[in-house]
Chains A and B, each alone.
Chain A
Amino acid sequence: MARMTMIEAIRDAMDVMMARDEKVVVFGEDVGYFGGVFRSTAGLQQKYGKTRCFDTPISEAGIVGTAIGMASYGLRPCIEIQFADYMYPAYDQIVSEAARLRYRSNGEFTCPLVIRMPTGGGIFGGQTHSQSPEALFTHVAGLKTVVPSNPYDAKGLLISAIEDPDPVIFLEPKRLYNGPFDGHHDRPVTPWSKHDLGEVPNGHFTLPLGKASVVREGSAMTVLAYGTMVYVAQAAAAEMGVDAEIIDLRTLIPLDMETIKASVRKTGRCVIVHEATLTSGFGAELAALVQEACFFQLEAPIARVTGWDTPYPHAQEWDYFPGPARVGRALVATMEA
C-alpha cells in the first residue's frame, strides 16, 4: 500500500498498465513531455518512450478519432481530453464511432478505449472548466461512464476501464484531485494523505465497473451521489443529523441497480445529488428507475439536488454548486415529506 493523491493514483494506474501491456498508449494535449496540466501523466514519457506517451495537436476530434483507429488496430489507448468542457469537438467521434463500432460491424471491429476527462466544478473554473457532461455520455448506447470519488477507486476503476473491451468515458472530478471536498469552501481542505481512501494498493488491482459502493450505511433515506457530491452528501447528512444511506454510484453505465434497489426498498426515501444541470441530467434517469423499481416502498417524492439549469457561472460559484446547506435542506424536506 502507498499514500496517493487521486492524481497519483490515476498516474499509477496508467503506469501499471503500460508496464503490463505494451498495447497501452497514452496521449493528449500536453500529456507527453510536460506530463499533463494536472500532472496525471508525469514521468510516463520518460519511462515508456515517446511512442507510448506523447503530445498531440490541439484537436479533440483528432485525439479521439486517431485513438479509435488505434483501438481498432488492436492497441489500448488511454487518452486525455484536457477538460470535459472541451470534449464537444470529439462528440461525433465518441457517439457515432467509438460507441458503435462493435455493434455496427457485428464485432468485426471493436474499440477498447478509455477517454479520461477532468470534470466538475467548485474550483472557480467558470463556464468552460467546470462542466459535468456525464448525461451526454450515459444517453449513448455502447459507452460506459465512470466517475471515481477517491484515489483507491480511481486506480482500481481506471485499470478496469483500460482492460475493458468497450469504450469507457472516465470522468475525473478535478476538485477531488488533491483531497476530498465537502462543499465547505471556507474551510481548509484535508489532503488525501490524511484520508483512509488515500491508501492505495501498489501494483495491479481492479474494481468492477457496474458496482456501486455504500459509503455510509443508514436507515432513514437513500442518497445517490457520485464524484464530489459523495462528500457533500456525507457532510450534509452529518450536519442535519439524518441517518442517510449514502451510495457512491462509481459507474453510471452500467448502473448498479441492485444496490440502489436494496437500499431504497429498505429506507423508503431517496435523494439524488449531482453537480450537473437538472433538466435531463442523469438524476432524471435515476429518479425514473427508482420510481419504477421501488414505487410501493417510497414514502416521499424522490428529490433531486443539482446544479441549476444555467451555464456554470464564475462569481456565483457557491450559489451554483450544490453545497452541504442546499443538500441538507433537501434531506430534511424529504424526511418530513
Chain B
Amino acid sequence: MTERRLLTLHVPEPAVRPGGAPDFSNVKIPKAGAVPRPNVDVEPESIRDLAFSIIRVLNRSGEAVGPWASPLSDEELLEGLRHMMTLRTFDARMLIAQRQGKTSFYMQHLGEEAISCAFRRALSPGDMNFPTYRQAGLLIAGGYSMVDMMCQIYSNSRDPLKGRQLPVMYASKEHGFFTISGNLATQYVQAVGWAMASAISNDTKIAAAWIGDGSTAESDFHAALVFASTYKAPVVLNIVNNQWAISTFQGIARGGAGTFAARGLGFGIPSLRVDGNDYLAVYAVAKWAVERARRNLGPTLVEYVTYRVGAHSTSDDPSAYRPKTESDAWPLGDPVIRLKNHLIVRGVWSEERHKQAEAEILDTVIAAQKEAESYGTLHAGAKPSARDMFEGVYAEMPPHLRRQRQQAGV
C-alpha cells in the first residue's frame, strides 16, 4: 500500500505586501552589456539563454555598453527623451483631468514610457501595432496629435471615435495603431493574422503584438504563439511584464515558469528578455526583432522587464495590495532619468536643459489640453451627436437600427 498524503493547493504570493519592506532580490539583474547579440538568422535553439537573462545597455554610470549598444544619434536620443517626457506629462495632466471630472477614466504609463516610445522608432510606415491600453507612447512617438488623443479621452465633439469608446481606447490606421479593445489578449492573435495577411499578400509590412504579464494567461496568448510559430508570421510578440495585473502579482500568471519569455521557447520562437526601462536596450531589441520579421525569418517574442509605478487605472488604489515605496526600490530605476543621465554623460544634455525641456513640454501639453477642452469634456460643452450612437454598427444601417434611431428621437 502506498501512503496517501493529503494534498494541499499552492497559491503563489508576492514577496511583500503593504507594510512590508520592498524586496526585489528575486529579480536577477545581469550587468549592462553582459548578454551577447546573436545574428537575426540565429537558430532559436541556440539562444535559449536569452529568454532567462536581461539584455541591458545603459550601465550605472549612464554609459551605453556591450553588443546591444545601438548607433542611435544624439538627435534621435534627445527626441526619444522628449517622447518619454511628453508621455509622462500627458499622463499627469490627464490624471488630473480625470480627478476634476473632465473624463470618467484614465490609465497612465508611469515607469513604462521607454517601451512603447523606443519600440515605435524601430517600425516603418505601414507596419501595424496591436496595442493594449498601455502603449500610448506608440502614438506620441509616432507624431499622432495629442489634441486628438485628448478629444478621445474627453469623448467630446471632436472625438475621432464619436464618444463610443472608453477613454484611452484609441484607434488610428494611419499611425499603425489598431483599435484597442477592452477584452484582454484578443489583439495578440489578431496581430498574427494581420502579419499572415501581409505575408499572403507578399507585402513588406510587419505587425507588432502587445500584451501585459497578466494577460499572457488568456487563451488567445497561446493561440497567437501557435499560429505565429506554425506560419512563421512576420510579427513581433511583445510582453510587457510590469510585475502587476491590477492587484495580482506576476507570479499568478507566470506560475512556476522561469520567465514569460521562456513561454516562447516551447513554440520554437526565438525569445528575448530586455530591460524595459533602458531606452537603448528596448530600441536595439525591437530593431533586432523587427529585422527578423522583415527578412521573413518569422516571429520573435520579447519580454520587457519593467515596473508599473502608477495605479492600474484611475479606479485603482495600489496601496491596498503592495508596499507604497515598492516603485522606489525597483532595481531597473526610472526610464526617463536613465536616458537623461546617459545624454548628460554623452555631453549633449544637462540638468538645466532638462528642467527647461520639462517646462516647454508642459506648456505644449497644456496648450493641447486647452484646445481639446474647447471642443468639450465628458460632462460639459459640445458632445458627439446621439445619432452617432447608431452609425457604424454596420457599413449600412439596417432597417431595425433605423427604426430604433427614430424611436430614440435623434
Most chain-A Cβ atoms within 10 A of its Cβ — which of B165, B182, B190, B198? B190
Q: When the two chains form their complex, are residues B394 and A105 in contact, meaning their CB atoms are under 8 A apart?
A: no
Specify which chain A residues have a CB less than 8 angstroms from the CB of B160 in the assembled complex: 106, 108
Q: Mark B215-244, 1 if CB is under 8 A from A, else 0.
A: 000011011101100100000000000000
Interface residue A73 (Cβ < 8 Å from any Cβ of B): yes
Bound-state Cα–Cα, A103 to B173, Å: 14
**Which of chain B's residues have a CB closer than 8 A to the CB of A164?**
395
User: Is B191's CB within 8 Å of the partner chain A?
Assistant: yes
Q: How many contacting A-B pairs (Cβ < 8 A)?
A: 142
Q: Are B227 and A66 in contact (CB under 8 A)?
A: yes
Which chain A residues border B219 with CB–CB below 8 Å?
61, 89
Pick from B165, B201, B392: contact of A75, CB below 8 A.
B201
Query: B207 contacts which chain A residues (CB < 8 A)?
Result: 69
Interface residue? A126 (CB, 8 A): no
Q: Once the chains bind, are A59 and B223 in contact (CB under 8 Å)?
A: yes
Q: Mark B184-205, 1 if CB is under 8 A from A, else 0.
A: 0010111111111111110000
| Interface flag for A240 (CB, 8 Å) | no
Instruction: Note all chain B residues with C-beta closer than 8 A to A100.
Output: 181
* B183 contact from A57, A97, A166, A257, Cβ within 8 A: A97
A93 interface residue, CB < 8 Å from B?
yes
A309 vs B114: C-alpha distance when bound (angstroms)? 55
Residue in B161, B200, B227, B398 whose beta carbon sits within 8 Å of that of A62 in the complex: B227
CB of A110 within 8 Å of the partner chain? yes
Return the contact of B172 from the options A68, A75, A96, A108 (Cβ within 8 A). Answer: A108
Q: Please determine whether A62 and B226 come into contact, CB atoms closer than 8 angstroms.
A: yes
Which residues from chain B contact A102 at a C-beta distance below 8 Å?
392-395
* Cβ–Cβ contact B226 & A59, under 8 A: yes
> What residues on B are CB-neighbors of A93 within 8 Å?
186, 189, 220
Interchain CB contact under 8 A, B194 and A105: no
Contact residues in A for B169 (Cβ distance below 8 Å) = 104
Instruction: List the A residue with the shortest CB-CB distance to B130.
Output: A69
In the complex, which residues 104-146 of chain A have their Cβ closer than 8 Å to any Cβ of chain B?
104-110, 141-142, 144
Task: Find chain B residues with CB under 8 A from A67 CB.
Answer: 193
Q: Are B183 and A106 in contact (CB under 8 A)?
A: no
In Å, the complex CA distance between A311 and B193 comes to 34
Task: Flag if B227 contacts A97 (CB, 8 Å).
Answer: no
Contacts of B128 in A (CB 8 A): 73
Compute how far the CA of A49 lies from the CA of B183 in the bound complex, rounded to whole angstroms.
35
Give complex CA distance A185, B164 in Å.
50
Q: Is A74 positioned at the interface, with any CB of B under 8 Å from its CB? A: yes
Q: Which residues of A contact B153 (CB under 8 A)?
A: none
- Taking a contact as CB atoms closer than 8 A, the residue among B186, B222, B393, B400 that contacts A142 in the complex is B393
What's the Cα separation between A109 and B190 when bound, in Å? 12
C-beta contact mask, B277-312 vs A, less than 8 Å → 1, else 0? 000000000000000000000000000000000000
Selected contact of A97 from candidates B165, B173, B181, B192, CB within 8 Å: B181
Chain B residues whose C-beta falls within 8 Å of the C-beta of A109 in the assembled complex = 171, 173, 178-179
- Contact size range, B: 35 or more
Smallest Cβ-Cβ distance to A55: which chain B residue: B230
CA distance A70 to B173 in the complex (A): 14
**A96 near B183 (CB under 8 angstroms)?**
yes
Q: Which of B139-171 contact A (CB under 8 A)?
A: 160-162, 164-165, 169, 171
Q: A72 within 8 Å of B by Cβ?
A: yes
Complex-state Cα separation, A96 to B224, whole angstroms = 17
Q: With A51-B200, A67-B193 in contact, do A105 and B171 touch (Cβ < 8 Å)?
A: yes
Task: Report the separation of the CA atoms of residues A141 and B398 in the bound assembly, to the nearest whole angstrom.
Answer: 11
State whether A104 and B161 are in contact (beta carbons under 8 Å apart), knowing that A61-B223, A97-B181 are contacts in the complex.
yes
Asked whether B194 lies within 8 Å of A70 as measured between CB atoms, the reply is yes
* CB proximity of A288 to chain B, nearest CB, Å: 12
**Contact status A70-B186, CB under 8 Å:** no
**Please, how many angstroms separate the alpha-carbon atoms of A108 and B128 in the complex?**
13
The yes or no answer to B399 lying at the interface (CB within 8 A) is yes
Which residues from chain A contact B189 at a C-beta distance below 8 Å?
A: 61-62, 65-66, 69, 93
- Kindly state whether residue A101 has any CB partner on chain B within 8 Å: yes
Question: C-beta contact mask, A31-61 vs B, less than 8 Å → 1, else 0?
Answer: 0000000000000000000011000110101
Do the beta carbons of B193 and A103 come within 8 Å of each other?
Answer: no
* Binary per-residue interface labels of chain A (253-264) against chain B in the complex, 1 for a CB within 8 Å, 0 otherwise: 111010000000
A104-B394 in contact (CB<8A): no
For A101, the chain B residues whose CB sits under 8 A away are 179
- Chain A, residues 64-87, CB within 8 Å of chain B (1/0): the string is 011111101111000000000000
Question: Closest CB of chain A to B193's CB: distance in Å?
Answer: 3
Cβ–Cβ contact A65 & B224, under 8 A: yes
Report chain A residues within 8 Å CB of B186.
65, 92-93, 96-97
Residues of B within 8 A of A57 (CB): 223, 226-227, 230
Q: Which one of A67, A72, A105, A144 has the highest number of Cβ atoms from chain B below 10 Å of its Cβ? A: A105
A313 interfacial by beta-carbon distance below 8 Å: no
Decide: A166 and B395 in contact? CB cutoff 8 A: yes
Determine how close the nearest CB of chain A comes to the CB of B258; give it in whole angstroms.
25
Contact B191 A75 (CB under 8 A): no
A72/B190 in contact, CB under 8 A: yes
Residue A73 contacts which of B161, B165, B198 (CB distance < 8 angstroms)?
B198
User: At the interface, yes or no: A165 with Cβ under 8 Å from chain B?
Assistant: yes
> With A and B bound together, what is the CA distance between A109 and B220 in angstroms?
20
The minimal Cβ–Cβ distance linking A106 to chain B, given in whole angstroms, is 5
Indicate whether A210 reaches chain B with its CB closer than 8 angstroms. Answer: yes
**Does A74 contact B183, Cβ atoms closer than 8 Å?**
no
Task: Determine the distance from Cα of A141 to Cα of B390 in the docked complex, in whole angstroms.
Answer: 10
Task: Assess whether A70 is in contact with B193, with CB atoms less than 8 Å apart.
Answer: yes
5 more contacts with CB within 8 A, not counting A57-B227, A102-B395, are A66-B192, A102-B393, A102-B394, A103-B164, A103-B393
Q: List 21 A-B contacts (CB under 8 A).
A: A57-B223, A62-B224, A65-B227, A69-B130, A69-B189, A69-B190, A69-B191, A69-B197, A72-B178, A74-B197, A92-B183, A96-B186, A104-B164, A104-B181, A106-B160, A108-B172, A109-B178, A142-B394, A166-B395, A253-B398, A254-B398
Which residues from chain B sit less than 8 Å from chain A, CB to CB?
128, 130, 160-162, 164-165, 169, 171-173, 178-179, 181-183, 186, 188-201, 207, 219-220, 222-224, 226-227, 230, 392-395, 398-400
7 closest A-B pairs by CB:
A69-B193, A66-B193, A65-B189, A62-B223, A105-B179, A73-B197, A69-B190
